[in-house]
Amino acid sequence: MKILSLFANIGVAEAYLKETHNEVVLANELIERRSTLYSKIYPEAEIICGDITDKKIQEEIVKKSLDLGVELIMATPPCQGMSTAGQQDENDIRNELVCQVVNIAKRIEPKYIFIENVPLFFSTFINVNEEKILIPDYLERELGVKYSIEKAIIDTADYSVPQTRERAITLLSRKDQNYKWTVPPKDKKKVTMRDAIGDLPILDPFVKDVSEEELLQMFPKYYERKKEAEKISIWHKPPEHVKRQVIAMMHTPSGCTAFDNEIFYPKKEDGTPVRGYRNTYKRQNWDTCAYTVTMDNRKISSQNNVHPGRLYVQNGENLYSDARTLTLYELMKVMSLPTDWPVPSNTSEAFLRRIIGEGIPPLFVKKVFEELNKGMSNE
């Protein structure tokens, strides 16, 4: 089917859609930098850059959708007002962007609609014409006559994605269609961090506040390992950190936080102890799915960002390798992005890291669309 992608960002969600024989023919994104990159990744799709709440932009989206024969809308509205990692502000106007999806859907009348957001999407009130209403009740009121509505809270870890990430999924099927779109059944086996990145060799961090001599004292094979990483991917680069954080993580085992270290605990620049949550300065576990990737995924001091690491001995001391956050390449694997995703090599790494932290793992999206294909073919 021909798809309209709303709030498209750079197209993380649609990375595998071609494999499902569905095609994004039109997309909309507010921010020009993201829109430009989307065009480079998906040159065959037309993208409208602009504010979806602007009547002129919305009119253009509707007209082109009708001209192109759009049959399905995929919408991933911003979730910062509802996310547990955000302010959870019911008055955040971004919560009401789902209304624009409804307005467009009423005019296009696609066969199917896919809406993705955080779990609090289902329990958030929005203001519509001075009336306070729950988002699911609003969708039912506005679209329930013409569409059957399926709601589910899923964890992408149940769909072969090596990452725990809970999402609210709303699937709408036009009632004149023979098949009602449903969430696919869970996969039997979960994919762990070891499955996802366990085959990658040790990669040392770049310690930005030491001399080259001291760096090589800490990591004698730094340049050798960096060179091997470059052969794997241009995105597999040593993240940069400060010495005091790296030292803390070199003494922290897999799955543990440096706050448990008696000597090598997190310290401030002046040497005093850091106060923080136990999910910071924390290594991931090898034998579970990754924790949810956030937008702030480049910091050791942020949530569950540090590589699991491997025990090794250096100068008679037990240490743990990979005292760093995940590389962008490792994050792509954890997000289930294809390793050959055609992102231009000159794209900012910091920009990509943030975008990946906002996205929905595309392997889950692929499985949802495969379920739609299967259901339609059975009819």
pLDDT digits (tens, 9 = 90+) for 151-194: 999 999 999 999 999 999 999 999 999 999 999 999 999 999 99
* Residue-level pLDDT at 378: 79
Mean pLDDT score across all residues of the chain: 95
Q: Phi and psi (nearest 5°) for 126?
A: -125, 160
Q: What is the pTM of this model?
A: 0.93
Cα dihedral across residues 211, 212, 213, 215: positive or negative: positive
Confirm if 59 and 40 have CB atoms less than 8 A apart: no
The H or E element that residue 170 is part of is strand 166-174
* Residue-level pLDDT at 92: 52
Average pLDDT on 233-239 reads: 97
Confirm if 271 and 264 have CB atoms less than 8 A apart: no
Q: Would you state the structure tokens that stand for residue 31, as one six-digit string? A: 């921010």
Burial class (CB in 10 A: 0-12, 13-18, 19+), 272: exposed
Q: Residue 81 above 80 pLDDT?
A: no
* Residue-level pLDDT at 95: 78
* Residue-level pLDDT at 129: 87
* Residue 142 DSSP SS3: helix
User: Which are the contacts of 81, defined by CB distance < 8 A and separation ≥ 6?
Assistant: 87, 88, 89, 90, 91, 92, 93, 94, 95, 124
Q: Residue 267 above 60 pLDDT?
A: yes
CA distance 218 to 314: 9
Tokens 């070891």 -> residue: 194
* Residue-level pLDDT at 377: 87
Which amino acid type is present at position 253? P
CA distance 239 to 275: 23
pLDDT digits (tens, 9 = 90+) for 123-162: 999 999 889 999 999 999 999 999 999 999 999 999 999 9
Residue 379 pLDDT level (bands cut at 50, 70, 90): low
pLDDT digits (tens, 9 = 90+) for 313-328: 999 999 999 999 999 9
* Residue-level pLDDT at 85: 47
Residue 84 pLDDT level (bands cut at 50, 70, 90): very low
User: Of 1, 7, 225, 196, whose CA–CA distance to 116 is shortest?
Assistant: 7
Q: Would you state the structure tokens that stand for residue 378, as one six-digit string? A: 């059975």
* Residue-level pLDDT at 295: 93
Indicate which residue of 49, 79, 99, 256 is catalytic: 79
CA distance 334 to 191: 10
Tokens 């449903």 -> residue: 182
pLDDT digits (tens, 9 = 90+) for 197-220: 999 999 999 999 999 999 999 999
Q: Residue 304 above 60 pLDDT?
A: yes
**pLDDT: which is higher, 129 or 195:** 195
CA distance 122 to 113: 16
Task: Indicate the DSSP class of residue 45.
Answer: S
* Among the ranges given (84-93, 146-155, 245-254, 335-344), the one the predictor scored with the smallest mean pLDDT: 84-93
Q: Phi and psi (nearest 5°) for 187?
A: -75, 155
Is residue 49 annotated as part of the catalytic site, yes or no?
no
Beta partners for residue 48, in sequence order? 28
